[in-house]
Structure 1
Amino acid sequence: MSGQFTFQTLEHENLGNTVYGQISEALIKGRFAPDARLTIRDLAQSLGTSVTPVRDAILRLIQDEALVQKSARDVRVPVLTIGRYREIRQIRLKLEGLAARESALKATPGDIARLRELIERNEQAIQDENWLEALELNQTFHFALAEIANMTVLRGILYRLWLQMGPLIAESYQAGGRVMIDHHYPVLRAIEARDQDAAERAIADDIGEAGKVILERFALREQGMMDR
């Protein structure tokens, strides 16, 4: 998914935070595949900035465990182990379940309309086989729950988890197809009904079903059957 992606040229004063934000968003949205090598010069050229803010952003992302440094000149997107994936999934089940519960209490009609629109747009993107857009809309839907819940600390924690999960979800999204969106409907219905328990169950089902697809990818990789 990384071959056709280009960054927007930067014009902001605070280049350090802006560069960090753009590279982070690219990771979350799966613009870089697992084990992709990132070079500071290429990123700086794409972003239209000097190498210094890019280098600083890369160091921050290594600290966030969103990137790994193999050597002085080799920085890569990590390839998650199945154990680490299971741990992150378990944490997401709890935290995104909390976000869904709070959303069921706090969602306004405008929030519900936004969630419905995200699902409809995702349906269209899947139908059009526009997997980059579908993936981005999926991520936006999940983050919207924390925003509706008005839990900024929770959103920050989820952001860091998705930094690590984004490339893996992107790698599996096309294979999952409709499975990756089917449970968004019961999430929406539960929030409309202000049913906290149903909202939590629905988001857990969503994460769990997507997880089955991801685990299948792990199995294929172990068998050496996945294209690199």
Structure 2
Amino acid sequence: MKEISKDSLGDAIYRRVCQDLMRGKLRPNQKITIRGLAEALGTSSTPVRDAVQRLLRDNALEQRTVRDVRVPVLSVEEYLEISRIRAELEGLAAERAAIMATDKDVARLQRLVERNAEAIDAKRWSQANELNQQFHFALAEIANMPVLLSMLGQLWLRMGPLLSGYFSTATQDMVKRHHIIVAACAKGESELARDGMREDIIMAREGIVAYIKTLSSA
């Protein structure tokens, strides 16, 4: 087996924490410790410290004091800016995906939506949020837009923890528009797919703003 270098281990840890942030396994205001992450990942502190420093530079984590590193709580203004950017970028991804999607791609999207709905019904919020993220990223993958996908990764680093918390409080049908997008992809209706994705993001704004306010007052 090829030996893992210090640098490659640091990259692997960075990617793992990024994934946990994007999929909401880390929540807003959650405290992150080097020792805790090292123990959870079964590694030494040095590569974890390096990964945390990278995440601080990405604004995916914030350092409040020397010993206090946390998952940020987005302000309403920060969230709304990210939401507007996401609506444009992910709308474009959905539009392009509807043109590019094969039957296999459509089946993949449909499975994600069905599993997401099942997780929501069972109140498995962590799984539901993870499947939601997979659906959104799958559209950019199907659209064959790697630059856009990379940009989404940076946005979801900051949005993932917030969306995960919101998922467990939301009252709206979280996958209703996902069904519309899948149907649009199946028929090659690019404008409908784009509008469905934009609406999916926009309709959540009121509820997410309300959720942010509960975090700010905690």
Aligned to 1:5: none
- Pairwise mapping of residues 62-211 of structure 1 onto structure 2 (< 5 A)? 62-211=56-205
Q: Are 1:28 and 2:22 counterparts?
A: yes
Q: Tell me how far apart the structure 1 counterparts of residues 185 and 163 of structure 2 sit (CA, whole Å).
A: 25
Deviation at 1:170, TM superposition (A): 0.7
Aligned to 1:41: 35
Percent of aligned positions with the same letter in both sequences? 44
Asked if structure 2 preserves the Cα contact closer than 8 Å seen for 1:135 and 1:173, the reply is yes
Q: Secondary structure at the match of 2:63?
A: strand
Aligned to 2:54: 60
Deviations 1:5-61 (A, max 9, x none): xxxxxx955211110011111111111111111000110011011111111110111
RMSD of aligned residue pairs (Cα, Å): 1.5
Deviation at 1:175, TM superposition (A): 1.4
- Comparing both chains, which one has the higher relative contact order based on Cα–Cα distances under 8 Å and sequence gaps of 6 or more? 2
Deviation at 1:178, TM superposition (A): 4.9
Change (3 A) 1:62 1:181: same
Q: Tell me how far apart the structure 2 counterparts of residues 215 and 89 of structure 1 sit (CA, whole Å).
A: 11
Moved more, 202-211 or 139-148: 202-211
Q: Tell me how far apart the structure 2 counterparts of residues 221 and 42 of structure 1 sit (CA, whole Å).
A: 23
Q: Tell me how far apart the structure 1 counterparts of residues 215 and 35 of structure 2 sit (CA, whole Å).
A: 31
Deviation at 1:195, TM superposition (A): 1.1
Aligned AA for 1:57?
A: A
Aligned AA for 2:57?
A: Q
TM-score between both structures, scaled by the size of structure 1: 0.90
Aligned AA for 1:120?
A: E
**Unaligned segments of structure 1, at least 5 residues:** 1-10
Q: Tell me how far apart the structure 2 counterparts of residues 202 and 45 of structure 1 sit (CA, whole Å).
A: 42
Q: Tell me how far apart the structure 1 counterparts of residues 133 and 159 of structure 2 sit (CA, whole Å).
A: 11
Aligned to 2:207: 213
Deviations 1:162-191 (A, max 9, x none): 000011101100211552211101111111
Asked if structure 2 preserves the Cα contact closer than 8 Å seen for 1:112 and 1:192, the reply is yes
Change (3 A) 1:196 1:64: same
Asked if structure 1 preserves the Cα contact closer than 8 Å seen for 2:73 and 2:215, the reply is no
Aligned AA for 1:41?
A: R
**Unaligned segments of structure 2, at least 5 residues:** none
Deviations 1:114-164 (A, max 9, x none): 000001111111111111111110000000011001111111110010000
